[in-house]
Amino acid sequence: MTNNELSFAIFCIESMADRTKRPANEIYDILTKDTDVLYQYIVPCYDALHTQSKDYILDDIYTALTERGIVA
């Protein structure tokens, strides 16, 4: 993982935590332990995702979690 990808992953985790009013460590667990969203979606799609708006990114992550049966 590059520094840019790591920074983006942190941004996604913190932003999802803010949006859902949950602790960041809980969102991290959802994205890594409960699903594969962080390492199989967010990081690999960094090039496309990081060019989008914050709302688009968070909506997209929420959709990915919903499709996996998880609601953050």
Residue 51's pLDDT is 96
d(CA 63, CA 7): 21
The DSSP call for residue 53 is: -
Do the beta carbons of residue 12 and residue 52 sit within 8 Å? no
Whether the full predicted model's pTM is greater than 0.95, yes or no, is no
pLDDT range class, residue 72, cuts 50, 70, 90 = low
- pLDDT reported for residue 50: 95
Question: Would the pLDDT of 5 be above 90?
Answer: yes
- Kindly report, residue by residue over 40-66, the tens digit of the pLDDT: 999 999 999 999 999 999 999 999 999
Dist CA 56 CA 36 (whole Å): 20
